[in-house]
Structure formats: C-alpha cells, structure tokens
Amino acid sequence: CCSAPLNVFTFQEGTVPTIEDFETMIGFTLNDAKINGNSIEFSNKNYVIETSKFEENLNLVSIYSQAKVLENGVFGNCENILSAEFPALTDVGRDVMNGCYQMTSFIAPNLSTYVNRAMGVTSETNSGQAGQAFLANTGLTTYTLETTYVPDAAFGSCDNLISLYFPNATALAQQVATECTNLTTVSAPLATSLGNAIFLNCTSLTNINFPSVQTLGDSVFRSCTSLAIIDLPQAVTLGNTVFQNCYSATTYNLPIATTFGIGVFINNTSLVSITLPSALNMGADSFFGCNSMTTVSLPEVLSIGDNSFNGATSLTSINLPKVTNLGSTPFADGTFLGITGNTIAFTLKSGLEIDQDVIDLVANNTVTLTLV
C-alpha cells in the first residue's frame, strides 16, 4: 500500500534512543525525523554514515537506509541485527558488519565499489585495502555480489557462508574468502583472474564454477580438502601451490594450461591419474607427495623442476616425450625420490642427456624405457 520509508532503524523492546541521540551518533541533523514505535525514520537521501558510528549498538535489530556510503566498522559488533537493506548503497569500507552474528539478510542491489576511508568522509576508491571482510563474522549463509571487481579479503573469515555468487565479476583480488570454513559453493562465470589465496583453507568447498578463468595466483585453492573435481577449461597460468593439500581431488580438467608454478599439486593424495595436454613448464615439487598417483602424462612439457615426483610412490606410467630438463641439473635433483619397487612404463625424449634422476629411477624399479 505504501513505499518503505527512506531510512528506518528498528530496536529491540526497551529503551529507544531519542532523535537527538541519533544525531549525535551519526553526526548530522535528521531533518523531519520521527519515532514510530520501535523505529526511527528520517528522510536524508544522500549521505555517508561515518566510521564506527553505530558500533556495538545492541538495540539495532533491522536497518533500512538510503545511505550511499558505509565507512569502516559502521555496524561492527551490533550483535542483534537480523537484517539490513541499503537500496542506494554504492560503497562500503572494512568490517562494516563484522560481528553481526545473527544477521541473515544483507541486501544492497546497487553496491558497486568498496572504499577504505581511513579518515574523514572523502576518499577515492582504494581497491588494494578496500572492503576487507565487510561481512565478516555475520550469520549470512549465502551472498550475491554484483560488482565487476571483488577486492581483497571481502569475505575473509565469514564462518557461516555456504555459497557465494559473483555474476558480474571479471577479477577476484586476494584472500577474498580465506578461512570461510563452511563455504561449499562459489561461482564467478565471467572472472578471468583469481588472486592469491582466495579460498585458502576453505575446507568444505566442493563446487566451483570458474569457466572463464585464465590466470590463478598462488595458493588459490590450497587446503580445500573437500574439493574433488576441478574444472578450469580456460586456465593458462597457475601460480605456486594452487592445489596444495587438496586431499580429495581426483579429477582435473586443465586442457589449455601451459605454465605451472612451484608445488601446484603437492600432497594430492587422492589423485590417481592426470593428463595435462598443453603444459609446457612444471615448477619444482609439482607432484610431491602424490602417493596414490599411478599415471602421469605431460606430452608437451619441456622442463620439470626439482622434486617433481618426490614421494609419488605408486607411479607405474610416466609420459614425458618432450622433456629436456628433469630437475635443475643433470645430477640427482630428487625428481623421483622415494619411488622404489615399482614396474614402470616410462616414455622419454630420445637423445636426452643422461640424467642421474633417470638412473636412480631405473636402479630402484623395473623400468621399461621407451625413447621417442
């Protein structure tokens, strides 16, 4: 029957702050404000709510505001907030809702950028420090963020989050959802780059949707111990330890990936077979500790770093038809260290300089060597 008031703050039963109290808290005059039951309504449309203005206000239960900017910690530790709606919001600072443990609804359809306003109310957008865990430690279980860029640590330690959806994001910065231990599902269909440690220690993550990603930073999925299927059809460059300690990973689809950093697959103890059809370079420790892996095929790889198969104790088939460097030297580089007593079919480049790693592998196993 009627439109929502421009700004509404709702309180628990008990003492309701006066309009004068509000003016002191938010730092400007509430023209035409009125108290309506347990709510206060006011008509300001374009304003900034300054840093920490409502911090630890235990009376707040629900919020509706036309605020365009929420600065750092505005509602920090407002433990009784259940819902918040900001139809005009475009910018948020750090820790805006940090500690709002009961909040299950946060609506901001126009949120477009994050800001880090260290002082005052005037600052340009800062994507490096911005938006750090603005929803940390809330009761939210699902969230959709429609920005094109997701900044550093935006959802770090959001313990209750189960799913995240970034429909318009083309880039995710660093540590976006680090330590979100209940997160199971993430989707960013347009993203082309993922920064460092975005999902580090997201131990419940099982479903990822990144069909457009081309570049992955370091440790993106490190210690995502529940992630079994990894499908990144457009990935080209992978940083260091991207999948380290992904103990449940059994399937990788990386059809056009060419460059792999150090320790990309360390301790993938459920991995049995892997083919990387386009890989050209593998960093050191690539498959270190992959003790269930029986088959590895790297048909285009030219170089492999030290300790690449160290501890891959179940290997029975190794396909390296173009490799010119096994480790950093012709001497023992730990490439096949710990592999003993196996019957191994090994395809290797003809004319490769005698390498001590190959000599050691042959000495410790029954090897059928095919030179191509």
- The per-residue pLDDT string of the chain (372 residues; one tens digit each, 9 = 90 and over) reads 344 444 566 776 666 777 777 666 655 556 566 777 666 666 555 577 778 878 898 888 888 887 888 888 889 999 999 999 888 888 888 888 888 999 999 998 887 665 543 322 233 333 334 446 788 888 999 998 888 888 777 887 788 999 999 999 999 988 889 989 999 999 999 999 999 999 999 999 999 999 999 999 999 999 999 999 999 999 999 999 999 999 999 999 999 999 999 999 999 999 999 999 999 999 999 999 999 999 999 999 999 999 999 999 999 999 999 999 899 999 999 999 999 999 999 999 988 877 899 999 999 999 999 999
**CA–CA separation, 19 vs 306, rounded Å?**
68
Q: What are the start-end ranges of the E strands in 25-139?
A: 34-36, 39-42, 48-49, 60-64, 69-70, 83-85, 91-92, 105-107, 113-114
Give the C-alpha separation, 163 to 202, whole Å: 12
Q: Exposed, middle or buried: residue 15 (CB in 10 Å: 0-12, 13-18, 19+)? A: exposed
**Number of other residues whose CB lies within 10 A of the CB of residue 51:** 21
Q: Do residues 168 and 192 lie in contact, with contact meaning Cβ atoms separated by under 8 Å?
A: no
Backbone φ, ψ for residue 145 (5° rounding) = -120, 120
pLDDT for the residue 207: 98
Q: How high is the pLDDT of residue 3?
A: 41
| CA 234-161-132 angle, 5° bins | 80
Strand partners, 366: 343
Give the Cα-Cα-Cα angle 367, 283, 226 (nearest 5 degrees).
90
| pTM metric for this prediction | 0.84
pLDDT value at position 40?
67
Cβ neighbourhood burial of 111 (10 Å; 0-12, 13-18, 19+): buried
Give the separation between CA 328 and CA 32, rounded to whole angstroms: 74
How far, rounded to the nearest angstrom, does the alpha carbon of residue 351 sit from its chain's CA centroid?
Answer: 44
Give the pLDDT score at 24: 65
